[in-house]
Amino acid sequence: MNVKQRADALGTFRFIEVYLMETAAYWTPITPEMEVKVMFGRHIWDFAQHADWLGKRTFELRQPEHYTRRPDDAYVRLLEQMKQAETVSERLTLLYDVVVPGLVRRYGRYLETTDRLLDGPSVLVIERIIPELRRQMGEAQNLRKELAVKTADTSDFRRAETAIDSVVGA
């Protein structure tokens, strides 16, 4: 990856983090369970910070500060589909069992691909983000147990997410 390709990848990740922040925020008033609202509140701040760190890094990669790049159309359609989930079970399953783990996988692939020396500051940002996303997955899992929220059947969605090799749009 060259500098522009790195900026494009991070700008795409920024789009996704902002979208996840907005999705959790959209769900907060319309989700009945108070404990789920509270968890979303924490995760809204996580996603916002990730977007902020990525946006500052894109400036160092010679793009505007908070450079944001729309992902591949198929991935955006999945994000839009997730946002329209109607039950708490679907919301928690789609976000924390499919999209967030998928994002962890995609960040991991970036770390495998980039030059860890030349792109050290991006590596630092992503290595701060990944444990936070994993923490979110754990919190969602614990909350589902506590509230006895069942896991929704999202196998089609999961297949579609896995089938998207790269989220970075052309």
Partner 1 sequence: MIELDRSLFADPPARDDRFEIKQVWSEMHNMWDDEGKMLVEFMHRQMNEEVNGLEIAARNLTDFPDAPWELRLAIARQCWDESRHVNAFRRCFETRGGRVGEYPILNFEFRMITAIPTLIGRLAVQNRSFEAAGIQAIREALEHADRYDPDVAALLDAQLADEIQHVRYGNRWVEELIARDPRNAIDVVRGVSQANRAFPMIAGDAAIHLNLDDQIKREVGLIDPIPAQT
Binding site for partner 1 (CB under 8 A): 21-22, 24-26, 28-34, 37-42, 44-45, 47-49, 52, 55, 66
Taking the complex as a whole, how short is the minimal distance between the CB of residue 64 and partner 1, in angstroms?
11
Closer to partner 1 by CB, 26 or 111: give it: 26
36 or 168, CB closer to partner 1?
36
CB of residue 148 vs partner 1: minimum separation in angstroms?
Answer: 13
- Report whether 90 contacts 152 (CB < 8 A): yes
For residue 151, report the phi and psi dihedrals to the nearest 5 degrees: -80, 130
DSSP string over 44-91:
HHHHHHHHHHHHHHHHHTTS-TT------HHHHHHHHHHHT--SHHHH
Provide the token pair at 69: 């790049």
64 or 131: CB nearest partner 1? 64
CB-CB contact of 48 with 103 (8 Å): no
- Closest contact distance (angstroms) between CB of 81 and partner 1 is 17
Residue type, 107: Y
Shortest CB 22 distance to partner 1, Å: 6
> Which is nearer to partner 1, 29 or 145 (by Cβ)?
29
